[in-house]
Each structure stands twice: as structure tokens, then as C-alpha cells.
Chains A and B, each alone.
Chain A
């Protein structure tokens, strides 16, 4: 790690003054930069690359994936490469603030409007999704997959044994939680060794309490964090935290999912990559061993996390990159990648039969639901705010001081206007 951090510092520093792009990329290789190295996602990426090679045998491709959950290492490597004017041909970036307030605002991305026009994509992706990858009327990346963040997973056996229904509102949630607690079962599994998992719970409570419009207003600065509704959400968050496992701070999200799988805990709030973990790693059956509902109060809403790829400025083989992007955005490309990764396609006209029961239902809901960008995954707000929000949440989980949380978020909100 130290060696990694050190090289990052070096490369970050070496940028110093040279601002003109030095196209030192000699090879015409199409370098695809991502953090897809885990089970499922790596298979999806390989399937995509294979498909691309079949169609474009003369373009050499390089899979430049950097390992590390949620892309934390990859993002650090990417930042230093971009600042050193050595961008990869195309790279994975979450749609929303991470793209727009990050790379687009820094002037590092090429607009892709001509590609969208050429491929006729503007009515193939949902309007709200295209807005997430656009800034000032220009489109900057191609979404390849969609994950849902506001899912409450539950152990079906535990719920059946105790004659419980999956909760849809906060009242129902706390009723169910009390009953489970009385039986000695942990109601809610949490693994916040990495604090973004707790931030996810909080953002889902915010969405469930504020509703879609007010939730979005938080990130534009039109709704202040000291609003009474935000305070109410923080109170709910505080109450919810009294139902989690004692050892939450030593667990990661997979450990928390395991608690639900084993029946030690009944519920878990996590993005739908947890489904991939349940099915691929823990060998559970969809809708048999585990079930799912939208998190309390967020039915009809879709907390969206989308992986997209764009075209950085200053790459030599821009034409090849666009060739790859047009495959990414095609039905064929999306259906090659998503069933393996366990996500759903970003296009609304993909082939449903290739997806499992959860995928089919989510695809249907994705078409109808209102989309909300995820804070924890960098879609709602710039990375600077996300880092501070994660710190505030990490302190809150222990100290449970509502005023202090609101205060920290309010202070950090100066980052939103950048």
C-alpha cells in the first residue's frame, strides 16, 4: 500500500506545470480502465472484450483493470494518470457528480453527442439517465449497467418462521425489528468497516423521508441540511442503528450479507450487487432463500448507481474508443455484460429473457421508477463532499449525535457548489 501511495504521490507531483497534452502513448492499444476484477464483473468485462475483438479484429485491446472494492484504488490511479496527462483510452466512472463535477468540470472529457446521434441512443436510455451523464447540455459518457441502491434484503425463512411481512414503511420496519429483537435475532445486519455502507442506509432513509424531489434538491443546494425533514431522517437513522449487530464496525458488506444468509440477522440494506454475492458466492436461490423489497418509504423510487465509460481528451485513438463505446451502448453489448455481472442494462429495450427473476423485476421497475442519484457512490455529490459525509456518518454511528451530523453535513455542503 505504501508503495502504491508513493507512486501515486510521485505521479501526482510530476504533473507540476506541463499543461499541454503530451501524447506519449505510442501503441495504438485500446486501454480499457476499470475496477472490474471480482467474480461476475470480470467475466462480464471479458465477454465484452471478446465481442469487441470479434467485430474489430484489427484493434488491439488491453484490459487495464485495477483491483480494489468500489474502485477506491482504481480511482486513485486514474486521478494521477489524468493529472499527468496520460489518460487511458476509456475508463469506468459513475454517472452523476463523479463524472460531471470531476472529470468534465476539470476539462478532461470529450463530448459524445455525435456518437449518441449516430447510434440513435437519445430515446434508448431513460431521459433522467442521460441527464446524469450530461453537463451544460452535452453528453459525456455511455452508461453500460445499472445497479439499484435502495434494496432491503431479507431472509425468507426467518420472516416465515416469525410470521412477518417484509416492511414497506418505517413504522412497519420498526415493528418488525422489535419482534425480531424480542426473539433474539439481529434485525438489521450492518458491516461498516468501510463507512460507505452506513452512508447508504442514511441516503436511503433520506430518499424515503424526503421524497425524490427534495432528495435531489439536497445536492443542488436548494434544500439545506438543517431542514427539519433532514433532521427527522437523521433521527430515523439513529433509531435504526439501535437494531444493528454489535460487531458492525469489524465487518464489511459481504460479512453483513452473510449474517442474513445464515439467518443470524433478518435484514440488510445494500445495493443489488449483494444479489450477486448471495447467488454466486453463497449459493442461495433467488426469491427462495432470500427476498427483497425497496427500502422503507422508497417504493417507486430507484437509487441509481451506473457505471459509464467516456472518452478522455488527448487520446490518440479516439476513433477506436468510439468504436468500443458504440458496442457498450448497443443492446448486444449490454446483454453480453450485464447478465454475467448481475446488474441490469441501462437501455430500456434489452432482452429480458437473459436475466434472472430479480433482474426482470428490476428492469421493469427501472422503466417506471423515478431515479435518484446515490450519494455513497459518488453520483449525487462531488468526491470531496462524499468523503466528508462518510466521515460525519462514521462519527454519527458511534456518537449518535443528530445535531452534530447535521452540522457537519451543513459545513461540508460548501463543497456542493463547486
Chain B
């Protein structure tokens, strides 16, 4: 339907003309518009409408069971950025996202390259790597909580070898530079959550990279070999650059998962002692639905939305440019 509609917008024609052209919609176009109308309304109300509503609540004084929608300005946002817990959340999210994405990219590419060596039982390995994706984060969280728990899991082995078994519950932050109220650095306990999250999501990047590797024609490798390139050079100079666009996609998909993460943390460590594993999602849930701080909770949601938008919006813009 686009070709017929678009010209009216392109030519800078008068309203009358465009109205006339709109009238030329035939039955098919009306029908298809009627079919997408319910979802347009649903999305408008239930997604964008509620985003706007949350934005409005985040600027109000509604911080008890009794709704109070009087305007409070940026009070809730200022409170959050001064709040110890929220500062810790931002730190944790930053390092969680960073390590999680690096781990998923590195492990994904490594395993995909191995699988691409035409090894025996390749489909079996492919399924093994991909299988954790089928679990929900809650299940992953519970399993890894048992595995890493100082009283039950692999840490008992580490203890036998004289290694510190308390890293899972450690409150140490490395290097721990004092920044505003919090210690800025990498909380050790976050690593436990990164391991669990990467274990679950690596399968996805393996699949993406493997598809990318398979799309590279064998002739290119052959040609490179003919020119005397070593296998290492082939990967570095040819293969990796060719799968680079996949890296962008994986980073964006993983970033939006990690910035919004809630269930894995909730099941595995909770907010953690001294909030070393707390994330905005958990804080939002607790402050809104336990403490009845609806406006504060809405402000956290909006901040989370904006942080995801930082990744998603440039991607959408660039992919639209690519289309046209």
C-alpha cells in the first residue's frame, strides 16, 4: 500500500490533494488498516499510554497508598540520585552490563568458531549450548544460587583447596573508590550473577555467530589461503570483520536484557548485603509494591526506560536508514 500513499507526502502538495489521494484507498487498503487498527490502539494505550502515565506519576507526590497526583517536579528523581541504594544500583547495572555483554560476546564467538570446524556431533553441541536459553531466568537463578551458595555448592570444593568460599556473598568492591555515597568499583558478588546470566544467554550469541560464519562463502577462505594467509590471519582480517554487524545486534539485544534484569537477581541473590547485587528493577519492585512509594517507583521505571533507549534508539534510527 505504501507506494500509493507516499507520493502525497513527498510532493509537498496541498491538503486538498492529499485528502483526495487518501480517498483513493481501495477496499484492500481499508481492510488491512482495519486489521492493524486493534493493535495500534492496544499499543497506543497499553504501551505508550502507560509510559506517559508512569512519567506523569513519577512527577507527582504519590508516595503512599492514597493516590496523590499533585505535581512534585523532579523531587522523586533528585531523591533517587542522592539515595545510597539507587547509586549502588547504577554502579551494579553498569558493571553487570559490561561484564555480561563481554562474556556473552567472547564465549559466543569462541564456541561458534569451534562449532564451525565441522566437528563430529555438531548438532548435539549446538543443542547443548542453546538449551539454557529455553529456561526462564527464575530457574537459572535458583540453580545457580544452589551451585554458588557457600554452604552447599561448588564453593565447598574451593574451601577444600583453601580458597575463599565467601566471594558469592562478598560485599567487597574493587577498587572501591569513594564516589558520592557509594564505593565505586566492581562488586565481587556481581560476578556470580554475571556467570549465571552469561551461562543462559551465550547460546543465543553462539547461534547468531554461527549463522554469520556459515554465511561466509568458502571461496573467500580458499582465496585467502591461496594468497598464503594463515588460519589466524583469515579469522582476524576476514572472518571477524564480516561478522561484526552480528556483534552489534548481539550487544543491543543483550544490553536491553541486562539493563532491565530483575528475575535472575531476585531469585539468585536478592538486593544483597549492602546492596552489592541490587539493580533498578528490584528496587523498583520493592519500593513500589512493598513500600507503596508509587512516584519513586515510577521514576525508577522511567530512568530504566531511558537507559534502554540509549541503546535501542540509535539502533532503530540506523536500521531505518539502512532500509531506505
Question: Does B199 sit at the interface, judged by CB under 8 A?
Answer: no
A205-213, A273-281, A338-346, A389-397 - the one binding chain B: A389-397
- Pair B289/A75 contact, Cβ less than 8 Å: yes
A1-9, A292-300, A316-324 - the one binding chain B: A1-9
In the complex, chain A residues whose CB is within 8 Å of the CB of B54: 9, 13
Contact size range, B:
35 or more
Question: Does B90 sit at the interface, judged by CB under 8 A?
Answer: no
Task: Choose among A2, A102, A193, A399 the residue that contacts B274 (Cβ–Cβ < 8 A).
Answer: A399
Known: A395-B84, A395-B275. A13 touches B50 (CB 8 A): yes
Q: Which A residues are within 8 Å of any B CB, using their own CB?
A: 1-2, 5, 8-10, 12-13, 15-16, 72, 75-76, 79, 82-83, 102-103, 105-107, 192-195, 246-251, 255, 382-384, 386-388, 391, 394-395, 397-399, 418
- Pair B291/A388 contact, Cβ less than 8 Å: yes
Quote the shortest CB–CB distance from B293 to chain A (angstroms): 6
Quote the shortest CB–CB distance from B258 to chain A (angstroms): 14
Known: A75-B289, A398-B273, A399-B274. A105 touches B66 (CB 8 A): yes
- Pair B65/A394 contact, Cβ less than 8 Å: no
Quote the shortest CB–CB distance from A403 to chain B (angstroms): 14
In the complex, chain B residues whose CB is within 8 Å of the CB of A249: 169, 171, 272-273
Instruction: Give bound CA distance, A397 to B272, whole Å.
Output: 11
Instruction: Give bound CA distance, A386 to B291, whole Å.
Output: 7
Task: Choose among A1, A9, A79 the residue that contacts B263 (Cβ–Cβ < 8 A).
Answer: A1
- Pair A251/B290 contact, Cβ less than 8 Å: no
In the complex, chain B residues whose CB is within 8 Å of the CB of A383: 65, 290-292
> For residue A246, which residue of chain B has the nearest CB?
B166
Question: Does B222 sit at the interface, judged by CB under 8 A?
Answer: no
- Pair A387/B289 contact, Cβ less than 8 Å: no
Known: A2-B262, A76-B290. A418 touches B273 (CB 8 A): no
- Pair B270/A194 contact, Cβ less than 8 Å: yes
Instruction: Give bound CA distance, A248 to B168, whole Å.
Output: 11
- Pair B50/A10 contact, Cβ less than 8 Å: yes
Instruction: Give bound CA distance, A2 to B262, whole Å.
Output: 7
> For residue A392, which residue of chain B has the nearest CB?
B84
In the complex, chain B residues whose CB is within 8 Å of the CB of A76: 289-290
In the complex, chain A residues whose CB is within 8 Å of the CB of B65: 79, 82-83, 102-103, 105-106, 383
Known: A5-B262, A9-B50, A395-B84. A247 touches B166 (CB 8 A): yes
Instruction: Give bound CA distance, A107 to B271, whole Å.
Output: 33
Quote the shortest CB–CB distance from A258 to chain B (angstroms): 9
In the complex, chain A residues whose CB is within 8 Å of the CB of B46: 10
Question: Does B67 sit at the interface, judged by CB under 8 A?
Answer: yes
Known: A13-B54, A83-B67. A75 touches B262 (CB 8 A): no
Give me 9 other A-B pairs in contact (C-beta within 8 A), A10-B46, A247-B150 excluded.
A12-B294, A13-B50, A75-B290, A79-B289, A247-B169, A248-B273, A250-B145, A250-B168, A384-B292
